[in-house]
Structure 1
Amino acid sequence: MSATNRQLVGEVPAMRIGVIGRITSAEEHGRYVRIQQLSDEPPSYVVLTASDRNFQSEGGDAWVEDETSLRQYFEESRWTVQWED
């Protein structure tokens, strides 16, 4: 997988960078999510959410400092995400 389409695994459910997913549990059930890796060194991330797959409607974003913070963000959100292939 490329750096913009890679899977992070560990203690929390797998997260995929640069891939659209559908949140299937928790408070944001039914919304779409995409993680963007920023070019910082070490990389930071932006987690985008929206009600539509094109991220044009009722969207939001959250910046996280690093991969550890990204894992914590997903853990705290309690999301289950169905990632697209």
Structure 2
Amino acid sequence: MIEIGKVGWIRTGDDAGKFVKVNELPDSPPSYLVLLAHDREFKSGCGDYWVEDFESLEGFFTEGAWIVEWLGESE
């Protein structure tokens, strides 16, 4: 399951070992900004991708073969 607005660690697939966060943009219907970084604070090695809708977001995660461990606030 893809968590919106929550930091995750990419366990396997393309970009394994990086952190990811998905932000919902205020479009109608919403689009999404996928943020990537080497660190949890998103200060190092950052990049981003825009996807058109939730279906495209799911396809983006599938294409990268990502298995993401979604982190809690204290992790």
TM-score norm. by structure 1 comes to 0.82
Equivalent residue pairs, number: 72
Q: CA deviation at 1:27?
A: 2.5
Contiguous gaps of at least 5 residues in structure 1: 1-13
Q: CA deviation at 1:72?
A: 0.6
For residues 42 and 19 of structure 2, the distance between their equivalents in structure 1, rounded to whole angstroms, comes to 8
| 2:19 counterpart letter in structure 1 | Y
| Partner in structure 2 of residue 69 of structure 1 | 56
Return structure 1 stretches of 4+ with deviation > 4 angstroms.
none
| Partner in structure 2 of residue 46 of structure 1 | 33
| Partner in structure 1 of residue 70 of structure 2 | 83
TM-score norm. by structure 2 comes to 0.93
For residues 52 and 11 of structure 2, the distance between their equivalents in structure 1, rounded to whole angstroms, comes to 25
SS at match of 1:71: helix
Q: Over the residues paired in the alignment, what is the CA RMSD in angstroms?
A: 0.6
| 1:69 counterpart letter in structure 2 | S
Contiguous gaps of at least 5 residues in structure 2: none
| Partner in structure 1 of residue 15 of structure 2 | 28
For residues 54 and 13 of structure 2, the distance between their equivalents in structure 1, rounded to whole angstroms, comes to 22
| 1:19 counterpart letter in structure 2 | K
Identity of paired residues, percent? 44
For residues 32 and 21 of structure 1, the distance between their equivalents in structure 2, rounded to whole angstroms, comes to 6
